[in-house]
Amino acid sequence: MEWVNAVVQGVLLGGLYALFAAGLSLMFGVMRFVNLAHGDFIVLAAFGALALVDATGINPLWTLIVLVPVMATIGYVGQRLILNRLVGSDILPPILVTFGFAVILQNLLQEAFSADSQRISAGALDTANLSLGQGLSIGAVPVLMFVAAVVVLGALSWFLAKTNTGRLLRATSDDPEIVGLMGADRRHLFAIATSLASAVVAIAGVLMAIKTNFDPATGPIRLLFAFEAVIMGGLGSLWGTLAGGVILGVSQGLGAQIDPGFQVLAGHIVFLFILVLRPQGLFARQRG
């Protein structure tokens, strides 16, 4: 039963990894843009939630009402004013600039909040759990993370498939040049994609802050988990990020069951194994 529990907990943890990866997948799918500051923006959202909880005493989930629109606005403005200048055939400028953003964010957060590890209490939600019988139970927070991932990915998939803006984003992903011929502003579309990705980052940051400890230096490891989930699932596939996140979470859960020190390494080994066998990912989106 311990092994079954490890698998179940790994699946639920995969929901959080999918939230880490969804924004990264969206930006890469639409713009071929690699954002090395993605993990640090997740941590920024976590510290934003911490500041709001300390200032008001509200439940951390309520901070999403503020953080989602704020992060979405930051994403739109940042893409429109700065990052659009870097989008092109050369991936090196975005990598260099977003690496600089990552370094700046880490240092600013350390100045503002110190290097101490933090965690936000969600009150009764922290200890709430659902018994599945035979000694197996699941916590409310992990279930919330997985449900949030499914809802977010479902909402993004619906938006991309059913709205005019979403169709334009998909068209931009397939053929950026034709979008201009349709009279659409690529700069605006890119900013919308980054805005959506940043909104998802806010959700991921708040749930991470409830689930586990974080500090200003934890951004790179969140970025690594996001990259692994995106690549395993398939670049540009939103639902693939959920599959990749679940695979990563289950691998880590089983690795921890073997030896606590093997937890993270087990995920990396499975990632490498899948990368060697299927470099395009398990559910890479086919391009017409």
DSSP secondary structure of 249-285 = HHHHHHHHHH-GGGHHHHHHHHHHHHHHH-TT-TTPP
What pLDDT, on a 0 to 100 scale, did the predictor assign at position 181? Answer: 65
The helix-helix angle for 263-277 and 219-233 (nearest 10°) equals 30
Integer Cα distance of 79 and 253 in angstroms: 36
Per-residue pLDDT, 122: 87
Residue 260 lies in a domain: no
> Residue 172: its pLDDT value, please?
78
Alpha carbon distance 99, 93 (integer Å): 10
Host domain of residue 114: 2-216
d(CA 186, CA 88): 12
User: If you search the block for the tokens 């938006």, which residue do you land on?
Assistant: 159
Q: How far apart are CA 242 and CA 15, in angstroms?
A: 7
Q: Which residues does 251 contact at the CB level (< 8 Å), separation at least 6?
A: 10, 266, 267, 269, 270, 271
Structural domain count of the chain = 1
Residue 38, classed as helix, strand or coil, is helix
286 within some domain: no
Write b or e for each residue in 182-194: b if 16 or more Cβ atoms lie within 10 A of its Cβ, otherwise e: eebebeebbbbbb
Cβ within 8 Å of residue 8, ≥6 positions away: 132, 136, 138
pLDDT tens for the chain, 288 residues long, are 788 888 999 999 999 999 999 999 888 888 888 889 999 999 999 999 999 999 999 999 999 999 999 999 999 999 999 988 888 767 788 889 999 999 999 999 999 999 999 999 988 888 888 877 777 788 889 999 999 999 999 999 999 989 988 888 888 777 666 666 666 788 888 899 999 999 999 999 999 999 999 999 999 999 999 999 999 988 778 888 999 999 999 999 999 998 888 999 999 999 999 999 988 888 866 544
Please report the pLDDT score of residue 176 as a whole number. 65
- Measured between its terminal Cα atoms, the distance across the chain in Å is 46
**How far is residue 26's CA from residue 148's CA, in Å, rounded to a whole number?**
17
Is 241 a domain residue? Answer: no
In a domain, 154, yes or no: yes
| 226 assigned to some structural domain | no
278 lies in a domain? no
- Within-domain flag for 132: yes
Residue 33 has what pLDDT? 82
Domain presence at residue 47? yes
pTM: 0.92
Please write down the HEC assignment for all residues of 64-87.
HHHHHHHHHHHHHHHHHHCHHHCC
Element (H, E) at 137: strand 136-139
Instruction: Calculate the alpha carbon distances from 238 to 35, 89, 93, 97, 279 in Å.
Output: 17, 23, 25, 25, 17
